């Protein structure tokens, strides 16, 4: 898409904004609608949009496939690890009150933050790797073919 000037300029402006919005949804999810799942999808969209307009190779320089594949597992491990941490501290599995023995309410908040972070990482990585897997097989389409 070399000659699509408007698309390229708009994408450059939007990609950062979309990422910022994704982080807002992620970390403000305790107060407003949203959470790890939505934030993960939005963050992935920022990369996918960039990949669509520029090229997959450009995105893969920032987010190489090996990193994305590991991040898929990392997010789930962060989630389950929070649960196991509670277990090791003598509480029930995924009982976040364990994370702050003096103030269970703060422990709950911290636990939710970690768990939502795990969901966000996994969802971003899965969406991106599905996109990579689809695009990696495609012969590049010329602009006229659409």
Residues near other proteins (CB under 8 A) are 25, 29-35, 37-38, 41-42, 44-45, 48, 52, 65, 69, 72-73, 75-76, 79-80, 83, 94, 96, 104-106, 108-109, 111-112, 115-116, 118-119, 122-123, 125-127, 129-138, 141, 146
Nearer to other proteins, 25 or 59 (CB): 25
Nearer to other proteins, 8 or 70 (CB): 70
Give 128's DSSP letter. Answer: H
Instruction: State the helix-helix crossing angle for 5-27 and 104-136, rounded to 10 degrees.
Output: 150
Complete DSSP assignment for 79-119:
HHHHHHHHHHTTS-TT-GGGG-SS-HHHHHHHHHHHHHHHH
CB of 82 to other proteins, least distance (A): 9
- Rounded Cα gap, residues 143 and 135, in angstroms: 16
Nearer to other proteins, 57 or 146 (CB): 146
CB of 49 to other proteins, least distance (A): 8
Nearer to other proteins, 15 or 42 (CB): 42
Nearer to other proteins, 62 or 130 (CB): 130
Helices first, then strands: H and E counts in the chain = 5, 0
CB of 10 to other proteins, least distance (A): 16
Q: Which two tokens stand for residue 82?
A: 């929070």
CA atoms within 13 A on the CB side of 109: 7
The region that residue 53 occupies, defined by phi over 0 for left and psi between -120 and 50 for alpha, beta otherwise, is: alpha
CB of 140 to other proteins, least distance (A): 9
């Amino acid at each position: 898409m070399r000659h699509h000037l408007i698309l390229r300029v708009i994408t450059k402006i939007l990609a950062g904004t979309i990422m910022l919005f994704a982080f807002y949804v992620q970390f403000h999810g305790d107060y407003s609608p949203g959470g790890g799942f939505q934030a993960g999808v939005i963050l992935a969209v920022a990369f996918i949009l960039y990949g669509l307009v520029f090229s997959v190779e450009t995105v893969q320089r920032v987010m190489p496939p090996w990193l994305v594949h590991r991040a898929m597992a990392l997010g789930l491990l962060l989630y389950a690890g929070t649960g196991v941490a509670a277990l090791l501290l003598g509480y029930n599995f995924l009982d976040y009150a364990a994370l702050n023995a003096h103030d269970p309410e703060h422990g709950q908040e911290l636990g939710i933050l970690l768990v939502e972070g795990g969901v966000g990482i996994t969802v971003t990585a899965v969406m991106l790797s599905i996109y990579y897997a689809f695009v990696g097989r495609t012969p590049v389409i010329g602009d006229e073919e659409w």
